Amino acid sequence: MFNLFKKKKEDNHIGDKYLSLKVREVIKETDDTVSIYFEQPEPFLEYKPGQYLTVILDIHGKEERRSYSLCTSPYLDPHPGITVKRVDKGLVSNYLNNQIRAGKSIEIMKPMGNFTCNFHSKNKKHFVMLAGGSGITPVISILKSVLINEPNSKVTLIYCNRSEDQIIFKKALEQLEEKYENRLMVIHNLSKPSSNWTGLKGRLDAAKLKNTLESIRYPELDQTMYFVCGPEGLMETAVATLEGMGIDSKSIIKESFYTDLDAKEEALKTAGKLAPELSREIDVVLEGETFHFEVPAGKTILEAGLDHDVDMPYSCQSGLCTACRGKLISGKVDMIEDAGLSASEIEQGYILCCSSKPASSDVKIIIE
């Protein structure tokens, strides 16, 4: 049976990172996607457009965590919401699509994520947003926030799906385009559209993307920023095309939902870039308390911590979401995936415990 977390279990989580939210409304977006809106807690949930929250569920007696992007804008929408696309055989996404109803409470970790930006009413920017499938979720949150906060900025959204019925937020996007007719342009690209589709069709390859981008230019605006979120193939094409067009990587903000940690680890191992796998003792400082435990050979710091009942925060367990972020105070670690961290976070010594293994004997990490 599926059960939501019991209060006793919730109380086991340390600190103010956790919260219980009551579901206000569930809206079916497409056949395989729902948006779940929550009642505002007291005080209101603080988040930035484009961030995600982590849901924590007890399914078959096992704690399951997944992160889902917020589809709402804190500047506009009275109730925060997440959008969940059903993954084939995905335990949590299917549960959320099938079982969640208004009135239920869900334990969450408070919003996190770097796929966001700051807004200012004086900005004159062009936001080019590339989304695929459920990658639209954080993108629409940012898009709505730009339109309401920056009257002199413009937004172009290139949104890829397989077919018309897969387009999430289709109506909401049409309404926004109508409301902000000179400031928002939505370009749909469908890989398998119906025969009467008149928009872009087929795979969005580099040549098509380049042509599309070159056809939309606003020389009167001061700066162009690019936001990319979607399946791995689209992300790779988009980033390679943008960089190939000479766009500075600092202007390209990415959000990944997928990585293959095992393959990455294997590649690093083959390249001789990993320390020998040994059991090592480490210190983790969590909310001011120090935990000393052994990380057996082959385990990540997060896996070992959880095995020792240390209540370390986590969500994706793939090096993408940063929920498990800590600061390395001493020693060395091998970090297999750092996609969730910014270059400056890495420079400052931040690591992701879910994708890191100790590589020296004096590892000490502080998790704030």
Cβ neighbours for 270, distance < 8 A, ≥ 6 positions apart: none
CB of 342 to ligand FES, least distance (A): 13
Q: Point out which span in 131-139, 162-170, 181-189, 320-328 binds ligand FES (CB under 6 A).
A: 320-328
Single-letter amino acid, residue 256: S
- For ligand FES, the closer of residues 200 and 328 by Cβ is 328
* Cβ proximity of 71 and 82 under 8 Å: yes
Q: Point out which span in 102-110, 187-195, 266-274, 317-325 binds ligand FES (CB under 6 A).
A: 317-325
DSSP state of 354: G
* 310 binding ligand FES? (CB under 6 A): no
* 33 binding ligand FES? (CB under 6 A): no
Which of helix, strand or coil describes residue 118?
coil
* 109 binding ligand FES? (CB under 6 A): no
- For ligand FES, the closer of residues 48 and 170 by Cβ is 48
- For ligand FES, the closer of residues 69 and 145 by Cβ is 69
* 322 binding ligand FES? (CB under 6 A): yes
Q: Tell me how far apart the terminal alpha carbons of the chain are, to the nearest angstrom.
A: 35
Q: Point out which span in 216-224, 259-267, 273-281, 309-317 binds ligand FES (CB under 6 A).
A: 309-317
* 319 binding ligand FES? (CB under 6 A): yes
Q: Using H for helix, E for strand and C for coil, what is the string for 147-181?
A: HHHCCCCEEEEEEEECCHHHCCCHHHHHHHHHHCC
Both tokens of 69, joined, read: 């992007």
For ligand FES, how many residues bind (rule: CB under 6 A)? 13
- In the set 200, 354, 365, 367, which binds ligand FES (CB under 6 A)? 354
Q: Using H for helix, E for strand and C for coil, what is the string for 279-322?
A: CEEEEEEECCEEEEEEECCCCCHHHHHHHCCCCCCCCCCCCCCC
Residues that bind ligand FES (CB under 6 A): 314-317, 319-324, 340, 352, 354
